[in-house]
Amino acid sequence: MIFLQLFFTFFKIGLFAIGGGLATLPLLREALLESGWMGQGEFIDMIAVSQATPGPIGINMATYAGFKLAGFFGGLSATLGLVAPSLIIIITIARFMKNYASNRFVAHALSGLRPAAVGMIAAAALTIFGNSVFLFSDFPDGAWIDFKALGIFAVLSLFYLIKKPHPLVTLALGALGGMFFL
């Protein structure tokens, strides 16, 4: 039964993927390529499409692989399999935290985690900024700063400082700016 097979394959991937959607890649390679479910070309297409479309990359890859193998319900089974471990583990942790919120070890651990989370987000922001405005592959010769993207960045930042718009407004303006200028 292909749907159950997809569910459990992606359940295993969800269970062992720690630290970001791309951490699932080696597991996916094993599950999809070595089982003969997909060819190399299709595997690369899957990664490219998943990175370029809306949604978490891991979820996109599961949906894509499931759909290619068994249609819409295949995609659904794979996605459900991938999120099931998260649901189980996180709900367990959230319950634990509710009961132990006043425990000082938990409180201290969280007080260390929060600043580290800000640091990790800042590192991610730098990568996203780099990928959208700088073309490091062309450095140092050639036009390695995308001045048009930098311009959009400056205008959107200014607009944000003055107007404090809803994030969706900033995203929509970015999309429009990209369509006209990039």
Partner 1 sequence: MKRLVSLFSLFFKIGLFSIGGGYVMLPMLKEEMVRKKGWLTDEEILNYYAIGQATPGIIAINTATFAGYKTAGIPGALAATAGMVTPSLIIISLIAAFLSDFREIPLVARAFAGIRVSVAVLLFFTIADMIKKGIKNPFDFLLLAAAFCGIAFFGLSPVTIALGAAAAGILGGLKIREGQP
Give, as ranges, the residues between 158 and 177 that touch partner 1 (CB under 8 A). Answer: 160, 166-168, 170-171, 173-177
Residue 41 in contact with partner 1, rule: CB under 8 A: no
Binding to partner 1 (CB under 8 A): which residues in 59-88?
A: 59-60, 63-64, 67-68, 72, 75-76, 79, 82-83, 85-87
Binding to partner 1 (CB under 8 A): which residues in 87-146?
A: 87, 89-91, 93-94, 97, 104-105, 107-129, 131-133
Which among 57, 63, 61, 60 is positioned nearest to 76, based on CA atoms? 63
What is the nearest approach in angstroms of partner 1 to the Cβ of residue 8?
15
Query: Which letter does DSSP use for residue 134 in this model?
Result: B
Binding to partner 1 (CB under 8 A): which residues in 5-24?
A: 14-21, 24
Residue 51 in contact with partner 1, rule: CB under 8 A: yes
Angle between helices 57-100 and 2-16 (to 10 degrees): 60
SS3 178: helix
Type of residue at 85: P
Other C-beta atoms closer than 10 Å to the C-beta of 28 total: 22
